[in-house]
Amino acid sequence: MPLFQCKVCGKVIEAEYETCECSHSHHCHEKKNPQCCGQPMIETMDD
């Protein structure tokens, strides 16, 4: 699972991407970062 960091508090968690759902019950394949403190989290790269 990818690691994400909160922009606001700096906490790093392991999480799944969120998927966006479009109107008319169609599913997008767009992957969104999870949110923390009302902001999208930053994906951190493992070296």
Q: What are the sequence ranges of the domains in the chain?
A: 3-44
How high is the pLDDT of residue 31?
82
Ranges assigned E (strand) in 1-47:
3-5, 12-14, 18-21, 27-32, 35-36, 39-40, 42-44
- pTM, whole model, 2 decimals? 0.68
Task: Give the model confidence (pLDDT) of 1-34 as tens digits.
Answer: 899 999 999 999 999 988 766 655 555 667 889 9
Pairing state of beta strands 27-32 and 35-36? unpaired
